[in-house]
Chain A
Amino acid sequence: EDQVTQSPEALRLQEGESSSLNCSYTVSGLRGLFWYRQDPGKGPEFLFTLYSAGEEKEKERLKATLTKKESFLHITAPKPEDSATYLCAVQAGANNLFFGTGTRLTVIP
């Protein structure tokens, strides 16, 4: 059965304290792994897509990496405005993403 598990559920960081979020997955025929950022009461905002093991993508303080079984979202020197829930999703079939339940990140000034 296709599954996506994100850890930790919640993470509190001091401003400038780097860390990583984990997304582990089991899916037959991965077509893509997606990271989204979601602010409270808002729709998810697309961040990255990764397609194959070894691929990396960067955007400002965020860097996403992919292996055959998991993906990491590395946050370097985070700022309070990075506080949000980060969602991971995998695409197996043509018309669906399987989402994890997210990691709620809080960055304290």
Chain B
Amino acid sequence: SQTIHQWPATLVQPVGSPLSLECTVEGTSNPNLYWYRQAAGRGLQLLFYSVGIGQISSEVPQNLSASRPQDRQFILSSKKLLLSDSGFYLCARTDRGTSRNTIYFGEGSWLTVV
């Protein structure tokens, strides 16, 4: 199974408030995990990826951060949201031991900053 759970599915947050989006995966050990953002009319943008617990790489400088406290858990956070943080956030995975690194996506979290 390639199950990826994301929550919350939808949230509306005021500017300046904190953010925590959570992603957990099932059916695999030691996956690579990713956070993407999809803004209206734009392609998916890679924000962070992680190859293991505590290992985070950032692709785009911004006021977001990511953490991986457990092998199958990936968290996207912000201390103070901006209006420009609104968008559709997708957690994704690739599995070790499989060929060619196909990326599978979760169902996404809609964030509206007001």
Chain A interface (Cβ < 8 Å from any Cβ of B) = 4, 31-32, 34, 36, 41-46, 49, 51, 87, 89, 91, 94-102
User: Which residues on the A side are within 8 Å of B4 (C-beta)?
Assistant: 43
Contacting pair B102 A42 (CB below 8 A) = no
Q: How far is the CA of A96 from the CA of B35 in the complex (A)?
A: 11
User: Which residues on the A side are within 8 Å of B101 (C-beta)?
Assistant: 31-32, 91, 94
Contacting pair B46 A43 (CB below 8 A) = no
Please count the residue pairs between chain A and chain B whose beta carbons lie under 8 angstroms apart in the complex: 54
Distance in angstroms from A18 CB to nearest chain B CB is 26
The residue from A43, A89, A95, A101 contacting B90, defined by CB atoms under 8 A apart:
A43
Chain B interface (Cβ < 8 Å from any Cβ of A) = 4, 32, 34, 41-46, 49, 51, 57, 59, 90, 100-108, 110
Given contacts A43-B90, A44-B90, A87-B44, contact A97 B103 (CB under 8 A): yes
Contacting pair A34 B102 (CB below 8 A) = yes
